[in-house]
Amino acid sequence: MFLFDCLYGMTDYYAKVDGIVYLVDAIDKVRFVESKKEVGRLVLDDSLSQVPFFILGNKIDIPIAASEDELRYYLGFFSYTTRKGKVNLEDSNIRPIEVFMCSIVRKMGYGDGFKWLSKYIN
């Protein structure tokens, strides 16, 4: 099961969650503050602490879209992501977390995110 986007009131389902995908509109910069709060809430949720998490910044086909680094910065993940290779989690408490950019209408980018996520799901 994946948690997709912000799903308030779904804590009953958290025990079954294999991965979290949080979709952000990369052109709606005014709402980055709201996204930062929601992402922070999910990241700090103890019941999801081992769950791989990726953020998808959508609409990169539009020139004013935030870049990947901007999104990392605005969501508070600049030095916190685990990068796109696979991290060995066995000897650490690191939780896989990463940012990917995509354009859903152009059908590009999100596949990389799901491939990355699949490395951490048994």
Ligand X SMILES: Nc1nc2c(ncn2[C@@H]2O[C@H](COP(=O)(O)OP(=O)(O)OP(=O)(O)O)[C@@H](O)[C@H]2O)c(=O)[nH]1
Which positions touch ligand X (CB under 6 A)? Answer: 25, 58-59, 61-62, 103-105
d(CA 104, CA 110): 7
Judge contact between 21 and 3, C-beta under 8 A. Answer: yes
Nearer to ligand X, 59 or 72 (CB): 59
Closest contact distance (angstroms) between CB of 68 and ligand X is: 15
The least distance separating ligand X from the CB of residue 107, rounded to whole angstroms, comes to 9
Q: Is 51 marked as binding a ligand?
A: no
61 is in an annotated binding site: yes
Alpha-carbon span 95 to 87, nearest angstrom = 9
Q: Which is nearer to ligand X, 61 or 70 (CB)?
A: 61
In angstroms, give the least distance from the CB of 44 to ligand X: 23
60 is in an annotated binding site: yes
Q: Which is nearer to ligand X, 18 or 25 (CB)?
A: 25
- 35: which DSSP letter? H
Tokens 């685990």 belong to 82
Q: Phi, psi at residue 61, to the nearest 5°?
A: -75, -10
105 known ligand binder: yes
Identify any residues that bridge with 3 across adjacent strands, giving them in sequence order: 20
Q: Is the separation of the CB atoms in 31 and 65 below 8 Å?
A: no
Q: Can you say which residues are annotated as belonging to the binding site for GTP?
A: 58-61, 104-105
Annotated binding site, which residues?
Answer: 58-61, 104-105
